[in-house]
């Protein structure tokens, strides 16, 4: 896997909270590019949190989920913790496999 253009979790004040806590604090961007990446990171965090929460609710480990969707555990875990960039396909697959990802508050 190639290196991502940026690491979404690096825009969180506490990167380990990315995808795990519903509300987290974010760094303040100082350029247009950083604002765009911050906004992307915030969206990814929102969907990563929804996926992680849904997995917890269903009692499914990330490894089982990754196998069910045909994606490596490594990539799935990196996407959910914000170490690599999420794709729209990741959100669609999560909605199909888990349900409730797009309609969550």
3-state secondary structure 6-60: CCHHHHECCHHHCCCCCCCCECCCCCHHHHHHHHHHHHHHHHHHHHHHHHHHHCC
Whole-number pLDDT of residue 2: 57
Whole-number pLDDT of residue 5: 85
Whole-number pLDDT of residue 103: 86
Backbone φ and ψ for 12, nearest 5 degrees, come out as -90, 145
How large is the angle between the packed helices 88-98 and 32-58, nearest 10 degrees?
Answer: 20
Whole-number pLDDT of residue 102: 94
Whole-number pLDDT of residue 101: 96
Flag residues of the chain having pLDDT under 50. Answer: none
Whole-number pLDDT of residue 104: 65
Whole-number pLDDT of residue 96: 97
Whole-number pLDDT of residue 105: 64
Backbone φ and ψ for 58, nearest 5 degrees, come out as -85, -5
């Amino acid at each position: 896997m190639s290196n991502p253009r940026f690491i979404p979790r690096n825009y969180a004040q506490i990167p380990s909270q990315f995808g795990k806590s519903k509300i987290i604090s974010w760094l303040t961007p100082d350029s247009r590019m950083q604002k765009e990446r911050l906004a992307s990171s915030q969206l990814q965090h929102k969907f990563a949190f929804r996926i992680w929460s849904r997995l917890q609710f269903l009692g499914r480990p990330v490894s089982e989920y990754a196998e069910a969707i045909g994606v490596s555990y490594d990539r799935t875990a990196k996407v959910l913790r914000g170490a690599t960039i999420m794709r729209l396909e990741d959100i669609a697959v999560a909605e199909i496999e888990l349900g409730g990802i797009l309609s969550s508050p």
